[in-house]
Amino acid sequence: MQFKSSLLALITGSVLFSTGATAEGSYASIGLSSMTYSEDMFDAVNLDDYSPLTLDFSIGQQLNEHLGLEFRLGVGLNEETQSTRVNGVSVDASFQLDNYWGLYVVPALPVGESGSLYANLGFADVEATAEVENKNNGMKVEGSGEEDGFSWALGYRHDLGSNGFQIEYGSVVVSDEFDLTGISAKYFFEF
């Protein structure tokens, strides 16, 4: 498995940046992302896509109703293990998204008086760990990897006064080696 490109950022994945129908101001958010990690080689070794979950935090500055800046950090919550056979050998293959961070520009389009559609466009870095165990002899091989690059997300933010919620879908890091996409739900508050 190639984990140099180790996936992060939800997401959300990810999923980074938010802007709302609010004018200028600072905000923070907390949320959960459900991601999908896949590689082309998974089919050849009978592996399904992995489904990492992350706890996401962000802090941002809304420059005006059409533009914001955001920093995002995500921490992996689960390790997933799958069993398969490779060349007649039984193996367990585990994957964990360790963490991600990203910096984003967030253009937004107000929708009504309390909502906005937005895009997160920026740079993210993802770290992940994988382990393969030969079930016949107990031998284990573990590796960690890191990948960085362009990150994007599309979302909707709904203001409820000085707080609200947002949902988004995006790619944590765009890579030729793997896909790491996710959907997230977040609660935000302005300060």
72-83 pLDDT per residue, tens: 999 999 999 999
The alpha carbon of 167 is separated from its chain's Cα centroid by a whole number of angstroms, namely: 13
Residues in the chain: 191
The Cα–Cα gap between 23 and 17 comes to 15
Angle at 182 between CA 156 and CA 129, to 5 degrees: 145
DSSP percent split of the chain into helix, strand, coil, nearest 5: 5, 70, 25
User: Which tops the pLDDT comparison, 30 or 47?
Assistant: 30
Residue 127: both structure tokens together: 């770290």
Beta strand 179-190 with 89-111 is unpaired
Amino acid type, 98: D
Question: Using 50, 70 and 90 to split pLDDT, how confident is the model at 88?
Answer: confident
pLDDT at 11 over 80: no
Average of per-residue pLDDT across 8-29:
51
pTM: 0.81
User: Which tops the pLDDT comparison, 9 or 141?
Assistant: 141
pLDDT at 8 over 80: no
Question: Using 50, 70 and 90 to split pLDDT, how confident is the model at 86?
Answer: confident
Q: Does domain 11-78+100-124+146-190 have CATH number 3.30.230.70?
A: no
User: Which tops the pLDDT comparison, 39 or 158?
Assistant: 158
Q: Is 45 helix (H, G, I), strand (E, B) or coil?
A: helix
In the chain, where the domains are located = 11-78+100-124+146-190
